[in-house]
Amino acid sequence: MNTHGKARHTAPLVIVAALLLAGMLPAWAEDESVVLTGIDILVRDGFKQLDGCKVGLITNHTGIDRQGRTTLSLIHDAPNVELVALFSPEHGLKGLLDESVGDSTDSLTGLTVYSLYGETRRPTEEMLSGVDTLVLDIQDIGTRYYTYIATMGYAMEEAAKHNLRFVVLDRPNPITGVHVFGPLNDRDGLFTAYHPTPLVHGMTVGELARMFNSERKIGVKLDVIEMHGWHRGMWFDETGLLWVDPSPNMRSLTEATLYPAIGLIEACNVSVGRGTDTPFERFGAPWIDGQKLAARLNGLGLKGVRFMPFHFTPAASKFKGQECGGVQVILTNRDEFDPLETGLSIVRELKDLFGKDFDIQNVDRLLFGKAVLEKVTESTGPTNYTPLWESELMTFKTIRAGYLQYR
């Protein structure tokens, strides 16, 4: 059990000095040109923002500092913080599970790791016993239906109910904080559609937390430990931070970039490459003619992307062990790429070429845009889809501007 309570009121400057002597603060900690995430800022400041707190930590394997040390171990070892509870999102604490996750025991702390992707998706009163501050450190990927953001929203709601403070250790949006694409979801409060946002929102987890707290009137005592050195135009590979696969099938920045386009058809009877070495960089099915599909998609002149006919056999997930025709998706210019124009064009061409073999209605299980899908379904030719949501997107951008914290 954690025994750091005896030192939790040590003056932060003394703690910083101790951390320097212990080698926990590297030389670049004060370099303004280096990107520091929320946990790096906590370490640099001697954990003064959590001084004397009894912390419940919501994290997974992506919660690391610039040196690759886990947020879990850093908070556990901080002399002025008491770690009393652990929570994990979808895929578990180590990010390896593609299934419902049960509770487990953390080998470092001996604490129970309460799963928020098992019997419950919210921390319960029993789980929160002894906690006065919930801290979240998880890497998002910038797409609305990636579930870590809903986990944050649900936890904020429970923290408000129990009068707990909620602290977000901010991290970059890996696909930049400037790209904003797509329609807003027409239903909300859901695990893959927590709040009305475009499919690609261009916000960090901290900015989203501020938006959720205000726009949804959650009213939690919220603090965001902001990054230093990050600016909105940065892609993740420009930050100098370590890439850690955020989930088992999100293995590269390219896949994170393509995900909002290819993920749109994941609920349909199509493989999106799970069970292969490049998920979300290919898609197919036994009933797809990849040459016809690639020719049709390449003929649309979609910016920043090309399609190559491809055959593959998934080793897991949908169509396991079955040969699929399809395409390999090649990202040629990530700054010009429009994932919603691309994704909906894929939907339309699958419907047009393969008719009833493609269950187009299941697109709405992640799009959450019935009116948009109806227009795509009715389309008789290549279409520019952006005007369908341009007005609501402008309204969202106006609201969003009030919560942006970085230039």
Please provide the DSSP assignment of 147-183 as one string.
THHHHHHHHHHHHHHTT-EEEEE----TT-SS--EEE
Reported as half-sphere exposure (CB side, CA atoms, 13 A), residue 56 has a value of 29
Distance (Å, whole) CA 150 – CA 138:
12
pLDDT mean over 98-127: 97
Q: Are 62 and 138 in contact (CB under 8 A)?
A: yes
Distance (Å, whole) CA 277 – CA 11:
50
Q: Residue written as tokens 């932060």?
A: 12
Q: Are 75 and 49 in contact (CB under 8 A)?
A: no
pLDDT at 12: 53
> With bands split at pLDDT 50, 70 and 90, how would you rate the model's confidence at 1?
very low
pLDDT at 68: 97
pLDDT digits (tens, 9 = 90+) for 21-30: 455 556 555 6
pLDDT at 24: 55
Distance (Å, whole) CA 69 – CA 23:
12
pTM of structure: 0.93
User: Is 8 a residue whose pLDDT tops 80?
Assistant: no
Q: How does DSSP classify residue 64?
A: B
pLDDT at 62: 98
pLDDT at 3: 38
pLDDT at 381: 84
Q: Are 347 and 262 in contact (CB under 8 A)?
A: no
In sequence order, what are the beta bridge partners of 222? 166
Q: Please classify residue 369 by burial: count the beta carbons closer than 10 Å to its beta carbon, then call 0-12 exposed, 13-18 middle and 19+ buried.
A: buried
pLDDT mean over 204-233: 98
> Is residue 60 left, alpha or beta, with left meaning phi > 0 and alpha meaning psi from -120 to 50?
beta
Q: How does DSSP classify residue 134?
A: E
Distance (Å, whole) CA 257 – CA 58:
25
Q: Are 174 and 253 in contact (CB under 8 A)?
A: yes
Q: Is the dihedral of CA 23, 25, 30, 33 positive or negative?
A: positive
Distance (Å, whole) CA 88 – CA 400:
28
Range with the poorest average pLDDT among 1-15, 256-270, 305-319: 1-15
Tokens for 402? 């009030």
Q: Are 169 and 247 in contact (CB under 8 A)?
A: no
User: Is 161 a residue whose pLDDT tops 80?
Assistant: yes
Domains present along the chain, CATH in parentheses: 4-247 (3.40.50.12170), 253-368 (3.90.1150.140)
User: Is 235 a residue whose pLDDT tops 60?
Assistant: yes
pLDDT digits (tens, 9 = 90+) for 28-60: 556 667 999 999 999 999 999 999 999 999 999
In sequence order, what are the beta bridge partners of 54? 82
pLDDT digits (tens, 9 = 90+) for 77-94: 999 999 999 999 999 999
pLDDT at 311: 98
Q: Read off φ and ψ for residue 258, nearest 5 degrees.
A: -80, -20
User: Is 13 a residue whose pLDDT tops 70?
Assistant: no
Measured CA to CA in angstroms, residue 401 lies from 115, 182, 235, 245, 354 at distances of: 34, 17, 20, 29, 42
Closest Cα partner for 63 from 133, 136, 137, 114? 137
In sequence order, what are the beta bridge partners of 306? 330
User: Is 6 a residue whose pLDDT tops 70?
Assistant: no
Q: Read off φ and ψ for residue 5, nearest 5 degrees.
A: -55, -30
pLDDT digits (tens, 9 = 90+) for 331-355: 999 999 999 999 999 999 999 999 9
Q: What are the residues whose beta carbons fall under 8 Å from the beta carbon of 261, sequence distance 6 or more? A: 329, 339, 340, 342, 343, 346
Element (H, E) at 223: strand 221-225
Distance (Å, whole) CA 241 – CA 220:
30
Q: Are 66 and 94 in contact (CB under 8 A)?
A: no
pLDDT mean over 350-366: 97
Better-predicted residue by pLDDT, 7 or 401: 401
